[in-house]
Chain A
Amino acid sequence: MADILAFAETRDGALRPVAGEVVAAARSIADQMQGQVLALVIGGPGSTEAASDLARYGADRILVAEDESLSLYNPDVAVEMVASAVAGATPGAILFPASAQGKDLAARVAARLDVALASEVTEIEVENGQPVVTRPMYGGKAYGRFRFLESPALISLRPNVFPASENPRAGTVEALASVAVERKTRVLGLEKAERETLDVREAPVVVAGGRGLQDPDNWKLLEDLVDALGEEATLGASRAVVDAGWRPHSEQVGQTGKVVSPGLYFAVGISGAIQHLAGIRTAGVIVAVNKDAEAPIFGVANYGVVGDLFEVLPRLTEEIRAVRGSDG
């Protein structure tokens, strides 16, 4: 019997989408390990109210540290808060989102508690009461299965892989006492992107473009498709176009960029270098549009259209607008 601690990430006093995924995954393994789910929330004003929503995903108890000074993630503070939550609970596993914040914090906590961490996990099984995890390695070219030799098992979950399933529990909210820590890292602020879009790793739908678009100005065609697909969609890019300076690094998909797992991935004018194909392997449905019928991308795409993207894309945008419009 072991409890599971789930780190639920917040921003601006609201839960981030990965928070539900992490708590729901914790619920699933806690049931198999006959334990409780303790959700941990650290954030600024509004966090306590937002945190109560974690009961929906299966949190038995919700520990919240809310303070103005916690509005921005500070690793020095967060690691001690997690350590103090652990000291009062003896969890069998601690789950984090594999987000920028979650991965930074998980590594800190691993060193602080002197236990191993499995990053970017895509599957958790429970064998003999212990978690066994699977994670893509080599940018997705191979999968490793791991077991932990000491407890607690630290696990960060790849975004978009574990469903944020509802499984309501009591979700008693308790205040977590703040811990006095020297802030060696001073967090000055968060600059948000001008156009607030979903991160390419967290978006359910990604429309990615490559060299085939020929010119950065042609991204308008992809933006139109993103608009047609709605607020769940965002843009991605191949390494070639990022290296050419057409698109920002933050959009790069592949082994040396972001490994992504959207439900739906459009590869437009992307031939499919090995490192790109590795980075989209865990996507749900892959659609490829390319004029070269021999392009490697067609070897992994669920659906391929061979043709000139400058003709195919506007038609695709139009058809998707039509079907989404008809749904109301």
Chain B
Amino acid sequence: MRTIVCIKRVPDSEARVRVSADGRGIDPSGTKFVLNPYDEIALEAALQLKEEAGDGTVTAITVGSDDAKETLRSALAMGADDGVLLRSEGSVDGLTVARALADEVSGRQYDLLLFGKQAIDDDNMQVPAMVAQMLGLPCATVVVDLEIHDGVATAKREVEGGHEIVEFDLPGVVAAQKGLKEPRYPSLKGIMAAKRKPLEEKDIELRAPKIELLELTMPPARPEPQIVGEGPEAVPELVRRLREEAKVL
């Protein structure tokens, strides 16, 4: 099994987000960055497929700044064999990132292209299906179960009120949803080994975006919170306010 896993460096889900002074992005100072949690799941799936097959490779690829090398090292520490940094400033337009990834992988040999279902910074949830469309590959997004036998992938997709079962011949694209695999913690041995694994760096020029971020702002304030009361005695008043004030019951 030769798998390519596309990953991204993102602010930790427990991090607070502050908008930068120019209103065009976030202020990264003091923010903890991590390997996108859905990409960790995709990487775990790739590692298990390789282990089950008994041979193969797992390559991690990212589009990002020099800081993303740290994220690639995290992927190598989990067990990826090699990493590729496509160095660029990144883009809010998922299409330009998808194009860069499609160009990179089209020169490579692989059975499966794995992604996390979305990056938890831009929340675009676009790139996996875009790459599949660009490369003319079959694709399953929001995948919670994946089996591969004799060159055929069977995937279970999480949809509203149930699951869709799809299959396709390899090579193909899969985007991991939570539940697919439980990501491992890198071992100390893995972390040491990661330092010696190959990490290729390429400078790339992203295509001009077709969408422009005009402004990033903090979310609108919510109404002033009210404590209705304590214990079950507060319930009648709560229900009254839900009916008469909020009109939601």
Interface residues of A (CB under 8 A from B): 16, 72-73, 75-76, 79, 99-101, 103-104, 106-108, 110-112, 114-120, 132, 135-150, 184-193, 196-199, 201-202, 242, 248-250, 252, 254-257, 259, 263-264, 273-275, 281, 284-287, 293, 298-308, 311-312, 314-316, 319-320, 323-324
When distances are taken between beta carbons in the complex, the residues of chain A under 8 Å from B249 are 264, 320, 323-324
Contact, CB under 8 Å: B165 / A185? no
Cα A41 to Cα B192 in complex, Å, equals 54
Please give the distance in Å from A81's CB to the nearest CB on chain B.
14
Cα A250 to Cα B142 in complex, Å, equals 11
10 A-B residue pairs with Cβ-Cβ distance under 8 Å, sorted by A, are: A100-B158, A100-B159, A115-B210, A119-B123, A142-B218, A184-B172, A249-B177, A303-B226, A315-B232, A323-B243
Given contacts A72-B164, A104-B141, A146-B92, contact A190 B159 (CB under 8 A): yes
Contact, CB under 8 Å: B95 / A193? no
Contact, CB under 8 Å: A142 / B248? no
When distances are taken between beta carbons in the complex, the residues of chain A under 8 Å from B17 are 138, 141-142
Please give the distance in Å from A217's CB to the nearest CB on chain B.
21
Please give the distance in Å from A163's CB to the nearest CB on chain B.
15
When distances are taken between beta carbons in the complex, the residues of chain A under 8 Å from B14 are 273-275
Contact, CB under 8 Å: B161 / A198? yes
When distances are taken between beta carbons in the complex, the residues of chain B under 8 Å from A256 are 13, 37-38, 120, 178
Cα A287 to Cα B214 in complex, Å, equals 34
Query: C-beta contact mask, B207-231 vs A, less than 8 Å → 1, else 0?
Result: 0011111111111101101111111
Interface of A is mostly: mixed
When distances are taken between beta carbons in the complex, the residues of chain B under 8 Å from A188 are 154, 165-167
The 5 closest A-B pairs by CB, nearest first: A107-B129, A116-B211, A111-B133, A199-B160, A184-B138
Contact, CB under 8 Å: A138 / B164? no
17 additional A-B pairs beyond A108-B129, A312-B231, beta carbons within 8 Å, are: A100-B157, A108-B130, A115-B210, A116-B209, A135-B123, A141-B16, A142-B19, A142-B26, A142-B216, A150-B210, A188-B165, A264-B246, A274-B13, A302-B222, A303-B238, A304-B226, A305-B234
